[in-house]
A and B are shown apart, each in its own frame.
Chain A
């Protein structure tokens, strides 16, 4: 596709439920990033993939959060037992190479936990 695509664009879920957020990166991009952005804040790093492997998952807040990228393209961010504090915009970005290039961002998924 022309850009990074994230689905769904909006997700409302009840506290305690499980959610999956999907990211389709730009074709051929090897690096993929997940960020979380709360109102009035900058993007907060969650996890970064190089190919299929998670090169850095130091930003995942706890073990309720998990992300996969099984074929080195599409990635899914999974959140178990959602809490109201998980409400935020979840951003995905990709880059052709992690070294010396910028990241291209999607529109994000707005997650609301009620």
Chain B
């Protein structure tokens, strides 16, 4: 069965620091990969996605993620965080070759000190 691991449960950074959130998945076949963000009091929103092609994908608000197939990883990065990036971040995966459910990781809470 598919699973997603997010090893960082809570990350605290100062503004302008660089960010990298880890995500590993377990599935041997073709995958679609997602990062969702949940700002306080708001619904889950898509930050970026990977379906195929260039393994370095760029999303909204300056975020990017790199798909490394050999490491089963899809880490999220941002070179300089802002206070407004304070949120919960979720990595997710589904099978790429057929219609299937999307499986989420347990999330990483990001707190930015102003």
A: which residues have CB within 8 A of B? 31, 33, 35, 40-45, 48, 50, 55-56, 58-59, 91, 93, 97-100, 102-108
**Pair B100/A98 contact, Cβ less than 8 Å:** yes
Closest to A30 in B: B99
**Pair A102/B98 contact, Cβ less than 8 Å:** no
Residue-wise interface mask of B (79-104) relative to A, using a CB-CB cutoff of 8 A (1 in contact, 0 not): 00000000000100000101111111
**Pair A45/B101 contact, Cβ less than 8 Å:** yes
Asked whether any CB of chain A lies closer than 8 Å to the CB of B22, the reply is no
- The number of chain B residues with a CB under 8 A from chain A is 24
**Pair A98/B104 contact, Cβ less than 8 Å:** no
**Pair B43/A100 contact, Cβ less than 8 Å:** no
Counted as pairs of residues, one from A and one from B, with CB atoms less than 8 Å apart, the total is 56
Contacts of A56 in B (CB 8 A): 100-101
Residue-wise interface mask of B (44-55) relative to A, using a CB-CB cutoff of 8 A (1 in contact, 0 not): 111001010000
Contacts of B101 in A (CB 8 A): 33, 45, 48, 56, 58-59
**Pair A43/B104 contact, Cβ less than 8 Å:** yes
> Shortest CB–CB separation between residue A93 and chain B, in angstroms?
8
Of all A-B residue pairs in the complex, the 9 with the closest CB atoms, nearest first, are A98-B99, A42-B104, A105-B44, A42-B106, A43-B104, A48-B101, A42-B107, A107-B43, A102-B46
Residue with the highest number of chain A CB atoms closer than 10 Å, among B34, B43, B45: B43
**Pair A105/B43 contact, Cβ less than 8 Å:** yes
A42-B102 CB under 8 A given contacts A106-B43, A107-B43: no
> Shortest CB–CB separation between residue B14 and chain A, in angstroms?
24
Asked whether any CB of chain A lies closer than 8 Å to the CB of B32, the reply is yes
Closest to A50 in B: B99
**Pair A103/B102 contact, Cβ less than 8 Å:** yes
Q: How far is the CA of A49 from the CA of B15 in the complex (A)?
A: 42
Contacts of B6 in A (CB 8 A): 42
Contacts of A35 in B (CB 8 A): 104
Q: How far is the CA of A71 from the CA of B62 in the complex (A)?
A: 40
